[in-house]
Amino acid sequence: MLRMKNNSSLRSTRQTAGAALTRRAETVLRRWPPSRAQLKALINEATVDAHDEYEQRMGFATMIGDNLALPFETEVLGIPVTVEGIDISAPEEIVAICRRGTKRQKIGILHLPLPKAVPAGAEWIEAYRRWTRHG
């Protein structure tokens, strides 16, 4: 085992390495659109402990809810809306809660157009879209 006399230099090394890894991860995840390999890794992460399709879908709902930067602006049928949240509809569909003025509407996340400046965490929506097409 290697022992270091100066613990502050060890902390500094860890912090520098951690910051570099975080920047690298952000750079990789901010590439748009995500690569097939990135999507596959996200799909695996969302479904790793799932035993059936329902649990897999709930895994995606959790990952999207935990990682998607909200609120964000997008357009639905050419009308600007604010995406305020993520929910599960009665038929177990992941939906985005959209608002325009005082009106709110749920739109299936599979049909939600993403803005050109995609919000952080949008790669989870793309992974979910790929999973629904390719299982």
SS3 132: helix
When comparing pLDDT for 14 and 83, which is higher? Answer: 83
Mean residue pLDDT of the chain comes to 83
110: containing domain: 32-134
User: Does residue 97 have a pLDDT over 80?
Assistant: yes
Length of the chain: 135
Q: Which residue has the higher pLDDT, 112 or 21?
A: 112
Q: How far apart are CA 91 and CA 38, in angstroms?
A: 28
Q: How far is residue 26's CA from residue 32's CA, in Å, rounded to a whole number? A: 12
Is the CB of residue 96 less than 8 Å from the CB of residue 112?
A: yes
Let me know whether 56 and 109 are in one domain: yes
Same domain? 17 vs 43: no
| Co-location of 126 and 62 in the same domain | yes
Residue 51 pLDDT exceeds 60: yes
- Specify the pLDDT at position 90: 85
Do 54 and 91 share a structural domain?
A: yes
pLDDT at residue 36 greater than cutoff 90: yes
- Whether 58 and 121 map to the same domain: the answer is yes
Q: Does 16 share its domain with 61?
A: no
Residues 24-50, mean pLDDT to the nearest whole number? 82
- In a shared domain, residues 37 and 7: no
